Structure 1
Amino acid sequence: MDANEVIIEKLNKLETLLVSSVKQILTVEDLINYTGFSRSYIYKLVHKNILPYSKPNGKTLFFQKNEIDSFLLQNKSVSNAQLTQKAFDYVAKSK
């Protein structure tokens, strides 16, 4: 693969990522690019009703970007600094 082909490939990937980041309704392909999940993992999450989706025509899957963002950010871990701050706030409030 020569340098021009590498550059074209990288530009195509960038274009795909930019288009996916602007869209509010995502297809499976868009979701693959947006999350980095594999196709099989997405279908597994859909099959188990873990990932919110729409299937208006009974065949094609669509995903709302804001629902995907919420899914990706669930089960957030608290840092040690945040935990310490909560403890200080609790003790100060209890006095």
Structure 2
Amino acid sequence: MVKVTKQQNNDENMITLIDEDGNEQLFKELFTFDSDDYGKSYIFIYPAEQENDESVDIQAYIVTDNQEGDGQDLVPIEDDKEWDMVEQVLNTFLDDDGNFKG
């Protein structure tokens, strides 16, 4: 689980992930969605430094409110069926070459 800090820059959501060791990494939000089947919210993000690269490493997480009540946590998706559903959602936004249609 990692903590999340959100900031808005030029109409883009930037997210700073802070791991258990206190290391920070800046990501850009690709998009979020909710699943009625699983009753959860999900987010797709990619490292900000890859923004201009031909290919980016898209990561998906479950979004939960943190225990302190002052932000959100991102939790890895561990269930195979849940992961398949998340991949299907992502694939609806990718063209045949794997490029984002948005």
TM-score by length of 1: 0.27
TM-score (norm 2): 0.26
Q: Name which one, 1 or 2, has greater alpha-carbon Rg.
A: 1
More strand by proportion, 1 or 2?
2
